[in-house]
Structure 1
Amino acid sequence: MDFIWQSLATSLTLIAALDVEVFRTVWTSLYTSGCAIVAAALAGIPIGLLIGIGRFPGRRLAVTLLNTLMALPTVVIGLVVYGFLSRQGPLGSWGLLFTPMAMIIGQTVLATPIIANYTVAAIAGADSRILPTAQTLGAGRLQGWLQLLIETRFGVMAAVIAGFGRVIAEVGVAMMLGGNIRDYTRTMTTAIALETSKGEFAFGLALGIILMTVALVVNLILNLLQQR
């Protein structure tokens, strides 16, 4: 137990002292996850909206596909994106592998089906009279869709926050596509894995405390939105 308490004290000291390496790693995590969730929201919300309001052949298959993609292991996503970004891949000439951009791409792929699925659920739970009422009042198709999103904004915001909580805590995509390069692509999760394997338990614990704090805040906001 002495080891645990000493490591905890050291980790809290690192956080209180605003250790440069700790907070540079935290910033990398927040930056890549933030950019990825914005891109995923721009793709996932329209997809969820179209599936949610659509009545087309294959809709059930589309919903099943989204549910499947939500459970897709991060290492599989990392493997596929790695194949596209590697030198032998179709996008290898862009030189994106082992950069923050590669991590953002992988995390966007990870978060998009999550946001789309939550958006579908939010649209399905909305009042069915919203679109007809908007159209009766003279709204066009796009205006009606926008009004529907406004009415379901808490559910859509919950979708975005759930996606962010997923990508900020993942390790497979960040490790495979970022390469865990110090001061460049090292995130909280990859740093925790590396530092713990090196015996730097206190450093990993400091990052773990920050990561858990971020996850707690994200889940508190998500629960609040779900209650609304």
Structure 2
Amino acid sequence: MDFIFDSLKTAFVLILSWDPEVYKTVWTSLYVSLIAIVFSTVAGVPAGMAIGLGQFPGRRAVITLLNTLMALPTVVIGLVVYGFFSRSGPLGQFGLLFTPTAMVVGQIILATPIIANYTLGALSASDSRIMPTALTLGASTSRGALLLMQEIRFGVMAAIIAGFGRIIAEVGVAMMLGGNIRGYTRTMTTAIALETSKGEFAFGLALGIFLLSVALLINMFLNFLQQR
């Protein structure tokens, strides 16, 4: 137990002393994940709305595919994107591998199906009369969709938060596409894995505390919005 307590003490010293490496790693995680979640939201929410409202051949197959993509392993995403961004890949000339941009791309692929599926679920649970009623009263399709979006806004918020929680805590994409480069692409999760393997348990614990704090703040924010 002394080892745990000593490590906790050292971890809090690192946090309170504003250790530059700790905060640089935290900033990289937040920066990459926030950019990725913005793009994932822009793509995922309209996709979920379109699938939920649309009636087209193969709709059931698309929903099944969406459910499958939610469980897509991060290392598989990392492998596929790595193949595209590597020197011998079709996008290798742009030099994107082992950069924050490559990490963002991988995280977008990871989070978009989650947001789309949660949005679809919120849409399915909403009152099915909202859209027809809005159209009957003379609203345009886009206006009706906005009214429906307002009705399911808490479900959409939960979708975005679930997507953010998935990407900020993942390791495979960040490790394979970012390369865990110190001060550049090293995130909280990859740093925790690396430092723990090196025996730097206190440093990993400090980053773990930050990671848990981010999850707590996100859930508190969602609770606050729901109460409002």
TM-score (norm 2): 0.96
> Which residue in 2 is equivalent to 1:63?
63
| Pairing 1:179–2:179 present | yes
The one-letter code matched in structure 2 to 1:20 is P
**Stretches of structure 1 lacking an aligned partner (at least 5 in a row):** none
Q: CA deviation at 1:214?
A: 1.1
The one-letter code matched in structure 1 to 2:74 is T
The one-letter code matched in structure 1 to 2:28 is T
Q: CA deviation at 1:225?
A: 6.3
TM-score (norm 1): 0.96
- 1:157-200 per-position Cα deviation (integer Å, ceiling 9, x unaligned): 11011100000000000000000000000000000011111111
Question: Which one is further off, 51-60 or 106-115?
Answer: 51-60
**Stretches of structure 2 lacking an aligned partner (at least 5 in a row):** none
> Which residue in 2 is equivalent to 1:136?
136
> Which residue in 1 is equivalent to 2:6?
6
Distance 2:26 2:74 in 1: 20
Percent identical pairs in the alignment equals 71
Aligned partners of 1:188 and 1:208 also within 8 Å:
yes
> Which residue in 1 is equivalent to 2:199?
199
The one-letter code matched in structure 1 to 2:176 is M
* Cα gap change, 1:224 to 1:120, in 2 (>3 Å): farther
The one-letter code matched in structure 1 to 2:103 is M
Distance 1:227 1:128 in 2: 25
Structure 1 segments of 4+ aligned residues over 2 angstroms from their partners: 216-228
Distance 1:29 1:11 in 2: 18
Q: CA deviation at 1:55?
A: 1.8
Superposed CA RMSD: 1.5
Q: CA deviation at 1:219?
A: 3.5
Distance 1:162 1:18 in 2: 29
Distance 2:119 2:168 in 1: 20
The one-letter code matched in structure 1 to 2:163 is G
The one-letter code matched in structure 2 to 1:48 is G
Q: How many residues of Structure 1 are paired with residues of Structure 2 in the alignment?
A: 228
Aligned partners of 1:135 and 1:141 also within 8 Å:
yes
- 1:11-66 per-position Cα deviation (integer Å, ceiling 9, x unaligned): 01111111111011000000000000000001001110011111222111111111
Q: CA deviation at 1:74?
A: 0.3
Question: Which one is further off, 78-87 or 139-148?
Answer: 139-148
Q: CA deviation at 1:217?
A: 2.5
> Which residue in 2 is equivalent to 1:97?
97
Distance 1:226 1:66 in 2: 27
> Which residue in 2 is equivalent to 1:212?
212
The one-letter code matched in structure 1 to 2:149 is L
Question: Which one is further off, 216-225 or 175-184?
Answer: 216-225
Spell out the pairing of 1:33-52 with structure 2 (5 A cutoff). Answer: 33-52=33-52
Aligned partners of 1:131 and 1:148 also within 8 Å:
yes
Q: CA deviation at 1:216?
A: 2.3
Question: Which one is further off, 132-141 or 154-163?
Answer: 132-141
Distance 1:118 1:226 in 2: 17
Distance 2:193 2:219 in 1: 23
